[in-house]
Amino acid sequence: MQIRNTQGRYGWVSIILHWGMALLLIGLFILGKYMITLDYYDPLYLRLPDLHRSIGVFTAMLLLVRFVWRQLNPVPQIVGSVLERNLALWIHRLFYLLLLGIVLSGYLTSTADGHALSVFGWFDIPAVLQGVDNLEDQAGAVHEYLTWSLVFFVLLHMGAALKHHYIDKDFSLKRMLGFAPKSGAS
């Protein structure tokens, strides 16, 4: 398999970025939902949010890498009707916007008290916005709303991939799994 994308196939870098980010985002979602159930006296009460924030920063860096990689590579042709192609294009763009909003709102939630955000103890990201009344709660609410919006669109994305695979019987899903024919035929 090739490193770079072609008009008919995804390269292994795009495939690894896609599935790696999918796993990270699922993990972050599960971790986020679990950590908010912990009470103050749980030994994981402070550790899990730190882990969630650090993995979130790592995921944000991968998002930037993925965005740059997407700009430097051709995107394989989207398969389907004009409506399906346009929806796919706009939903992919929406993924980037939602993820950016999730990252920014998570950052604002984490730094609302004026403390820097520590990333695995390796480096700190300073707080840039502080002194705003109720910032932690407001940014936290936006973070949760955007996260649930992302879940909705990911489920829609998965449904579309399965529809293309099982109903249309094209190679859309196989391309992202690395199994499309070399011709990239749909």
Domains of the chain are 12-177 (1.20.950)
Q: For residue 63, give the nearest of 104, 35, 31 by alpha carbon.
A: 104
The pair of structure tokens assigned to 128 is 């840039």
If residue 123 lies in a helix (H) or strand (E), which one and from where to where?
Answer: strand 123-125
| Dist CA 83 CA 89 (whole Å) | 10
- Contact in structure between 115 and 127 (CB atoms under 8 Å): yes
Predicted model pTM: 0.89
* 63-85 pLDDT per residue, tens: 999 999 999 998 888 888 999 99
CA-only gyration radius of the chain, Å: 19
Question: What is the number of helices (H) and of strands (E) in the chain?
Answer: 5, 2
CA atoms within 13 A on the CB side of 39: 1
Top pLDDT among 183 and 45 is at: 45
Residue in the structure block whose two tokens are 């949760």: 144
The model's pLDDT over 125-163, given as tens digits with 9 standing for 90+, comes to 999 987 889 999 999 999 999 999 999 999 999 999 999
d(C-alpha 12, C-alpha 10), whole Å: 7
